[in-house]
Structure 1
């Protein structure tokens, strides 16, 4: 079933941006800072406990799909020991998500409110706050290099890093490659990805492999695209003695990800397939079952849209309702 309600978050900015190669960024002095005791790197992984947690996450699935069989992560892995609740957006746009829609203090207060609801719904997992920032945005115009994407200035990402420190949270930098590719875009964010509390998101919706204008068609990533991100993150983890990185891959159609069974499973990276479509509750649940549940990779996420999910009078899924899904999503994103 084709997902009829897509989230085309193309935004054209009329601002002057600094180069992504800005060497005066505060990021160059912050790369060695760590997050709180909640996610301090452990020294030993208890494999029996890890397996038990995966089994609980599978919510009694009897098909053999879940829990996903794979290798154990390096010590210090965040998943499945925590649940992450993130706010998504971009500071230049009030239309791309709650992160840019509300003033900082109001946004952080609302995030804390959602965190409390999730913690109350499932006391077995600590809940970690996160800010999921779109650092490379798809565009409706080609730009000077013809790539139909706009890289955010480092000072914007620095702002998100600083906000996350205030709430002892994680940061996800997200890329919409458009006519570019993962290999070209991810390395430009290396300064941030070396930080222990910064992780990566990649969005197939805006990967336009046949030259289309972003927003006119839903894009796609194959396993090679996703593995390029996995390999890069794994390299950073090894070189910098980091705990495993999380890679969030958005999905709401069959074609957005191809070759799911060829996505690499490595100790350094934990892959989350995030159900990213908006629409009615029935449609969202169906999408989760058809594309996320049936094609298991590792962990799952679920996005909730404050506005688009409720346009037709539906209410947002509650934490208790989503915890009845199979598998239980461990990454929750609000847009």
Structure 2
């Protein structure tokens, strides 16, 4: 609506007062506008400051994640723990106790078997030693006389091992392949903090040799190359100490045994394999433990093949006490 018209003869003073009032009103509006703009500017500055603060908070370095540990805590296997394991593969009962029956029941049996070995000063760390590469009498498509277990099977045993707070140890019977090649192909498993490695030279064949017809052997150089690669993986991934088992039941199964190298990130263990009488097995163990002192000692027991199976109490009386005991 427009302003009302003034009748003729209206007092000029009144008009001037109205003009003055309008001028004052406009001035007041201008002041309010200035204050509003100023306030708006302050709000923008506040927003900028708040945004800057948020950015500053975002730029703060994130705390480093804690390094992975062993299944029962800590990052060192030996001498903190004594490892007690079951060995095998579900392909056949003859391959060992680990593969006989549902894995949950096997885990419960391992827990019972390991209990007598525990000490207050040295608790037990259970282990599933799964044959992940099996030597065959058949050459296969590549002529290397070995077959690989599917990922699905390894994953199933890793899941069960984790549920039991145990290590999973992947055992390699390489046939005519070599330990280094067979180990590096397991990288996706070995980079896990709770997965170890076992090398079985009995099944390391040379050219023209067939598994099961001869006893295999390996040179220390091949073992050292393999453990060097694995030790680097442990360092690169900041993993806890990783168990490495080297099986043997004759001294000549590892050529140049004295040249085997210890690795800071690995708990390398020479395991006295083979079944028989207690006397024969103890003699073999003593001969093996005269070897490199920088490596750890293991001992294998066979539920079916051993004559008069040794009890945990008898095993713990052995000198030196085994760091690793595995049942087949």
Report the TM range for the smaller structure's normalisation.
Answer: 0.7 to 0.9
* Structure 1 outlier segments of 4+, above 3 Å: 32-37, 292-297
Residues 261 and 297, structure 1, Cα contact 8 Å, conserved in 2: no
Task: Find the aligned partners of 1:102 and 1:205 in 2 and give their Cα distance.
Answer: 26
Task: Find the aligned partners of 1:37 and 1:157 in 2 and give their Cα distance.
Answer: 17
Q: Where does residue 285 of structure 1 map in the other structure?
A: 282
39, 46, 58: which is aligned to 2:73? Answer: 39
Task: Find the aligned partners of 1:240 and 1:84 in 2 and give their Cα distance.
Answer: 23
Deviations 1:3-44 (A, max 9, x none): xxxxxxxxxxxxxxxxxxxxxxxxxxxxx995567333xxxx
- The structure that has the greater radius of gyration is 2
List alignment gaps of at least 5 residues for structure 2.
Answer: 1-65
Task: Find the aligned partners of 1:251 and 1:297 in 2 and give their Cα distance.
Answer: 17
1:321 paired to 2:320 = no
1:206 paired to 2:199 = no
Q: Where does residue 45 of structure 1 map in the other structure?
A: none
1:143 paired to 2:140 = yes
Higher relative contact order (CA 8 A, sep 6+): 1
184, 188, 201: which is aligned to 2:185? Answer: 188
List alignment gaps of at least 5 residues for structure 1.
Answer: 1-31, 41-75
Residues 136 and 174, structure 1, Cα contact 8 Å, conserved in 2: yes
Assess, with a 3 A threshold, how the Cα gap between structure 1 residues 87 and 33 changes in structure 2: closer, same or farther. Answer: farther
Task: Find the aligned partners of 1:296 and 1:277 in 2 and give their Cα distance.
Answer: 21
Task: Find the aligned partners of 2:189 and 2:209 in 1 and give their Cα distance.
Answer: 30
Task: Find the aligned partners of 1:205 and 1:279 in 2 and give their Cα distance.
Answer: 17
Shift of 1:220: 0.6
Q: TM-score of the superposition, structure 2-length normalised?
A: 0.76
Assess, with a 3 A threshold, how the Cα gap between structure 1 residues 237 and 35 changes in structure 2: closer, same or farther. Answer: closer
Task: Find the aligned partners of 2:233 and 2:262 in 1 and give their Cα distance.
Answer: 16
Residues 260 and 297, structure 1, Cα contact 8 Å, conserved in 2: no
Task: Find the aligned partners of 1:37 and 1:174 in 2 and give their Cα distance.
Answer: 19
118, 122, 126: which is aligned to 1:125? Answer: 122
Q: Where does residue 165 of structure 1 map in the other structure?
A: 162
Deviations 1:281-322 (A, max 9, x none): 11111111122334545101111110011xxxx321122212
Assess, with a 3 A threshold, how the Cα gap between structure 1 residues 294 and 100 changes in structure 2: closer, same or farther. Answer: same
- Number of residue pairs matched by the alignment: 263
User: Which of the two has greater helix per residue?
Assistant: 2
Two-structure CA RMSD over aligned residues (Å): 1.8
Deviations 1:34-89 (A, max 9, x none): 5567333xxxxxxxxxxxxxxxxxxxxxxxxxxxxxxxxxxx22101100111111
Residues 247 and 271, structure 2, Cα contact 8 Å, conserved in 1: yes
Shift of 1:206: 0.4
Task: Find the aligned partners of 1:295 and 1:278 in 2 and give their Cα distance.
Answer: 23
What SS is found at the alignment partner of 2:192? coil
